[in-house]
């Protein structure tokens, strides 16, 4: 299967859209697609059954990873278990009890990305809990209020800890009114490794951090480049795509099969055709794909490259059903999230920019003055939110909050990207509604991370219903580490 065979997103768009306002910025054509077929109402989920407690013991430790293939040297990975791909599964309403045991040479923590949980369980060292030092354990305990596809990762030295492999998937079931013929995980991530020795390269570079980030050298889906997964031929399968990379933005699509988006960041949307959806680090997309006929293949691809890159091949297997219905996947159950009161919401602007002060200047006497240090900034501060850079790579010395929110009030955050780079912006502890944008035509949807494209302004809204100090940052981890992080308080 050569990459050249893959149609471009433009061709796909022409195939799917009739008369939509197609432009390059129109990534997945929410509005136009909705115009093609009226959005389907999402039914409320039935109440959760008897809640259970799901337990897991995660031992964060160095373990070799075979990323370069059988004969090649192993990579000194860090993982949560002997199976390097940790997947925790629960049902909505269940409680999760996870013991994190730290056998790493440095402190760590677990942040449960996208989960609306109490602040003490949010896993941000110094801000929400003490760092979990080597040899120590920490017990995370919380209920799971929402269904969907989530993940978890450390929230300290993140570029290296996630870079070495620390990340896991959390699936909260109970959102599907009908079963799918298969449930496929499509975990996208890169590794920065030396292909001769298997060792890691520098996770962070100043040149990368100041621009789009430092990209990996090996792209994998799961733990292998472009794996082939057998799926029941001709049936509708669910594919959960997670961008677990720390840097790369992918623009995912499906080739040679019909595909519809059913959830964004785990939150159900009225299904719409998947053309090419941009996913920044931390973003998730649940897709239903009509599996190919027996022996035939379809591909999950990334269009955000010169030639489309195959991420995963879905191979039809077994007997296809005799009579095939039109591809028309029903929606998942509606998210049960507090609806922001837009009429009475307070609007707060957040400007995502570059630091004006980073770098050095030559003083008249010939000395070099480090402007960053003179303002108590990390010398590698390249980024800021509302002109405020997070001062250190860790979380030990938090600056003032970016905003103080009143518990129970609705807020509209006006996010403005004044840089020429993309920034996937994530808020902890809340799920927000992405309302609109001056550049990208997305359907209104719930999310925990929104990808700001260059010069984009987007509005998000939510009810500040969870008390605490909630991190608000770019999920390109080098940007987060070099200033583009802050927090809001809810009290």
- Site for Cu ion, rule CB under 5 A: 423, 474, 476, 479
Binding mask 115-154 for ligand C2O (x = CB under 6 A): --------------------------------------x-
Q: How far is the CB of 202 from ligand C2O (least distance, A)?
A: 22
Degrees to nearest 5, angle at CA 286 with 283 and 288: 155
Judged by CB, which is closer to ligand C2O: 167, or 186? Answer: 167
Q: How far is the CB of 376 from Cu ion (least distance, A)?
A: 22
Half-sphere exposure in the Cβ direction for 148 (13 Å, CA) = 31
User: Which residue among 113, 240, 290, 430 contacts ligand C2O (CB under 6 A)?
Assistant: 113
Kindly state whether residue 426 participates in binding ligand C2O, applying the rule CB under 6 A.
yes
Judged by CB, which is closer to ligand C2O: 269, or 485? Answer: 485
- Please state the length of the chain: 491
User: Which residue among 13, 92, 111, 445 contacts ligand C2O (CB under 6 A)?
Assistant: 111
Identify what 423 binds: ligand C2O, Cu ion, none; CB under 5 to 8 Å per kind.
Answer: Cu ion
Helix (H) or strand (E) holding 16: helix 9-16
Identify what 473 binds: ligand C2O, Cu ion, none; CB under 5 to 8 Å per kind.
Answer: ligand C2O
Q: How far is the CB of 375 from Cu ion (least distance, A)?
A: 21
Kindly state whether residue 282 participates in binding ligand C2O, applying the rule CB under 6 A.
yes
User: Which residue among 157, 473, 474, 487 contacts ligand C2O (CB under 6 A)?
Assistant: 473
Kindly state whether residue 469 participates in binding ligand C2O, applying the rule CB under 6 A.
no
Q: How far is the CB of 422 from Cu ion (least distance, A)?
A: 7
Identify what 442 binds: Cu ion, ligand C2O, none; CB under 5 to 8 Å per kind.
Answer: none
Look-up: residue for tokens 């925990």?
A: 448
| Tokens of residue 486, six digits | 């802050």
Name 311's Cβ contacts closer than 8 Å, sequence gap at least 6.
186, 188, 219, 221, 226, 250, 252, 299, 300, 301, 302
Interface positions, 427-446, toward ligand C2O (CB under 6 A): 428
Judged by CB, which is closer to ligand C2O: 290, or 475? Answer: 475
Q: How far is the CB of 474 from Cu ion (least distance, A)?
A: 3
Q: How far is the CB of 275 from Cu ion (least distance, A)?
A: 24
Among the residue ranges 50-58, 63-71, 175-183, 467-475, the one whose residues contact ligand C2O (CB under 6 A): 467-475
Q: How far is the CB of 265 from ligand C2O (least distance, A)?
A: 11
Interface positions, 283-322, toward ligand C2O (CB under 6 A): none
Judged by CB, which is closer to Cu ion: 318, or 420? Answer: 420
Look-up: residue for tokens 């993982």?
A: 79
Q: How far is the CB of 396 from ligand C2O (least distance, A)?
A: 16
Distance CA 259, CA 237 (A): 10
Judged by CB, which is closer to ligand C2O: 94, or 448? Answer: 448
Distance CA 90, CA 56 (A): 11
Identify what 111 binds: ligand C2O, Cu ion, none; CB under 5 to 8 Å per kind.
Answer: ligand C2O
Judged by CB, which is closer to Cu ion: 159, or 476? Answer: 476
CB 265 within 8 A of CB 475: no
CB 58 within 8 A of CB 109: no
Degrees to nearest 5, angle at CA 476 with 214 and 186: 95
Kindly state whether residue 471 participates in binding ligand C2O, applying the rule CB under 6 A.
yes
Distance CA 202, CA 217 (A): 11
CB 457 within 8 A of CB 437: yes
- Strand blocks (E) in 265-380: 267-273, 277-279, 284-290, 297-302, 309-317, 346-354, 360-362, 368-370
For residue 8, give the 3-state DSSP assignment: coil
Distance CA 63, CA 74 (A): 9
Which DSSP category does 356 fall into?
Answer: S
Q: How far is the CB of 269 from ligand C2O (least distance, A)?
A: 21
Number of residues that bind ligand C2O (CB under 6 A): 10
Distance CA 197, CA 193 (A): 8
Q: How far is the CB of 225 from ligand C2O (least distance, A)?
A: 24
Helix (H) or strand (E) holding 99: strand 95-102
Give the residue closest to ligand C2O by C-beta: 113
Name 402's Cβ contacts closer than 8 Å, sequence gap at least 6.
350, 385, 386, 388, 472, 486, 487, 488
Identify what 479 binds: ligand C2O, Cu ion, none; CB under 5 to 8 Å per kind.
Answer: Cu ion
Kindly state whether residue 155 participates in binding ligand C2O, applying the rule CB under 6 A.
yes
Sign for the CA dihedral angle at 118, 122, 127, 132 comes to positive
* Residues that bind ligand C2O in the complex, under the rule CB under 6 A: 111, 113, 153, 155, 282, 426, 428, 471, 473, 475
């Amino acid at each position: 299967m050569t990459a050249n065979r893959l149609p471009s997103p433009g061709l796909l768009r022409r195939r799917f859209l009739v008369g939509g306002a197609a432009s390059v910025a129109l990534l997945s054509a929410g509005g136009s697609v909705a115009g093609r077929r009226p959005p389907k109402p999402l039914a409320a989920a039935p109440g959760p059954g008897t809640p259970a407690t799901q337990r897991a013991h995660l031992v964060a430790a160095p373990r070799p990873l075979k990323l370069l293939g059988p004969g090649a040297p192993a990579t000194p990975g860090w993982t949560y278990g002997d199976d390097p791909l940790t997947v925790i599964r629960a049902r909505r309403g269940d409680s999760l009890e996870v013991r994190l045991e730290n056998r790493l040479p440095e402190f760590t923590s677990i942040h449960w990305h996208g989960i609306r949980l109490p602040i003490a369980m949010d896993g941000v060292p110094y801000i929400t809990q003490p760092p979990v030092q080597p040899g120590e354990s920490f017990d995370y305990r919380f209920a799971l209020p929402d269904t969907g596809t989530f993940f978890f990762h450390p929230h300290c030295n993140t570029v290296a800890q996630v870079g070495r492999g620390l990340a896991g998937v959390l699936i909260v079931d109970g959102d599907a009114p009908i079963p799918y013929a298969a449930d496929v995980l499509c975990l996208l991530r890169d590794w920065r490794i030396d292909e001769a020795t298997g060792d890691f390269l520098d996770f962070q570079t100043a040149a990368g951090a100041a621009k789009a980030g430092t990209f990996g050298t090996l792209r994998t889906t799961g733990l292998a480049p472009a794996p082939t997964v057998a799926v029941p031929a001709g049936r509708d399968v669910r594919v959960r795509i997670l961008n677990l990379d720390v840097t790369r933005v992918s623009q995912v699509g499906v080739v040679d099969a019909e595909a519809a988006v059913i959830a964004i960041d785990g939150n159900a949307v009225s299904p719409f055709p998947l053309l090419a959806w941009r996913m920044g680090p931390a973003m998730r997309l649940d897709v239903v794909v009509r599996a190919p006929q027996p022996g035939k293949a379809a591909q999950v691809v990334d269009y955000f490259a010169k030639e489309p890159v195959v991420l995963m091949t879905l191979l039809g297997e077994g007997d296809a059903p005799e009579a095939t219905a039109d591809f028309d996947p029903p929606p998942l159950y509606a998210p049960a999230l507090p609806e922001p009161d837009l009429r009475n919401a307070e609007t707060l602007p957040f400007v995502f920019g570059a630091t004006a002060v980073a770098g050095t200047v030559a003083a008249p006497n010939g000395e070099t003055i480090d402007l960053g240090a003179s303002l108590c900034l990390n010398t590698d501060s390249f980024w800021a939110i509302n002109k405020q850079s997070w001062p250190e790579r860790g979380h030990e010395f938090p600056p003032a909050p970016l905003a103080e929110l009143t518990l129970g009030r609705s807020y509209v955050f006006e996010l403005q990207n004044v840089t020429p780079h993309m920034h996937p912006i994530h808020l902890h502890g809340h799920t927000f509604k992405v309302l609109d944008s001056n550049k990208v035509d997305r359907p209104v949807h719930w999310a925990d991370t929104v990808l700001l494209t260059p010069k984009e302004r987007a509005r998000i809204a939510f009810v500040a219903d969870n008390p605490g100090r909630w991190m608000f940052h770019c999920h390109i981890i080098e940007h987060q580490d070099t200033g583009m992080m802050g927090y809001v308080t809810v009290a």
